[in-house]
Amino acid sequence: MKRRKFLQDAGATFALATLPLSIGAQETQAKIATRPIPATGEPLPIVGFGSSSIFSGTDFAGAAALLDALRDAGGKFIDTWPPAQATLGRYASENSAHNDLFLGTNISPRNADSNRKALATAKEKQGKKTLDLIQLPRPTDITWQWPVVRKWKEEGHARYIGIAVTGQQFFDDVESLLQSGETDFIQINYSMMEPESGERLLPLARDKGVAVVTNRPFMNGQYFPRVAGRDLPEWAADFDCESWAQFSLKWILANPIVNCTLTETTKLHHAVDNLSAGLGRLPDDQERARMQAYLRSL
């Protein structure tokens, strides 16, 4: 099924946002591509959700509509903070979807008591005996925090462990973990407007067999004013790109080192548009360079 058909079907989903998708619709829907997690070969869909505020609020119907769209597209990864765990766990329970969601759980170790509570709460609210991925977010002292995360995996609390950061001030910590060979995942900012991590950290992750998840594909919204009021270049259709959001996401995903890129939105039609970047052809190296040059010219 082509992306245009996916978007047409999703339009009906948007109109019925408070209703669950039928099993038949899920079976016939186009699915986004996957790439294997290097540590195990487990397939991971290449577009996921960041920690959108809707998952931490009281609009469960709205959150469920987004999660329906994610599952219907074949997506799995959701970046997860404590305020969102109850919503995600409720959705998984009500829809028998625990195995359909791959949750990157952000926990920052502080002390023994708070660490035990954080782990117990995450498992209870998510409804998972073993967490998919524990991420150390924005480390304040990685020399003592990382051994705690590593021990959690050794004790069976998580299938994978990693680090989740945004900003070049954390790049040295990420590089140190990659060199150590102890991490399964890194999550890092990477896009046309923030390509710096692609110069040394992404190639190092590839060489060390570490999965890469990227955040800030639109640089916290700063990307869209750059392209506002402009039509997509006609040549974007050559790699099945139909929106400015997909233009950025497809540039990111065209880097084969990237396992998954995360998008954040509270609007269903934007989520569908973002997920559609995982369908169809991705730009080749020449097209990718043309995209970067075009954006810089604006």
Q: What's the rounded mean pLDDT across residues 115-131?
A: 97
Q: Buried b vs exposed e over 189-222: b needs ≥16 C-beta within 10 Å? A: bbbbbbeebbeebbebbbebebbbbbbbbbeeee
The pLDDT tens digits of the residues spanning 196-245 come to: 999 999 999 999 999 999 999 999 999 999 999 999 999 999 999 999 99
Spatial contact of 101 and 94, defined as CB atoms under 8 Å apart: no
Provide the pLDDT for residue 30. Answer: 77
Mean pLDDT for the chain? 92
Q: Does domain 43-222+257-280 have CATH number 3.20.20.70?
A: no
Q: Which H or E run includes 290? A: helix 285-297
The pLDDT tens digits of the residues spanning 46-97 come to: 999 999 999 999 999 999 999 999 999 999 999 999 999 999 999 999 999 9
For the ranges 12-26, 42-56, 137-151, 164-178, the lowest mean pLDDT is seen at: 12-26
Q: What's the rounded mean pLDDT across residues 113-131?
A: 96
Q: E-strand spans in 127-272? A: 131-137, 158-164, 185-189, 211-215, 258-263
Burial classification of residue 274, based on how many CB atoms lie within 10 Å of its CB (0-12 exposed, 13-18 middle, 19 or more buried): buried
Q: What's the rounded mean pLDDT across residues 105-131?
A: 96
Distance CA(239)–CA(224), nearest Å, equals 20
Helices (H) and strands (E) in the chain, counts: 12, 10
Q: Which H or E run includes 223? A: helix 223-227
Domain ranges of the chain: 43-222+257-280
Distance CA(194)–CA(32), nearest Å, equals 24
Supply the Cα-derived Rg of the chain in whole angstroms.
19
What is the signed CA dihedral for 49, 51, 53, 55, rounded to 10 degrees? 70
Q: Give yes or no for residue 10 having a pLDDT over 70.
A: no
Q: CA torsion sign, 202 to 203 to 204 to 208?
A: positive
The pLDDT tens digits of the residues spanning 31-40 come to: 999 999 999 9
Provide the pLDDT for residue 15. Answer: 38
Provide the pLDDT for residue 29. Answer: 63
Map residue 82 onto helix, strand or coil.
helix
- Model confidence at 283, pLDDT cuts 50, 70, 90, reads very high
Q: What's the rounded mean pLDDT across residues 175-191?
A: 97
Provide the pLDDT for residue 86. Answer: 97
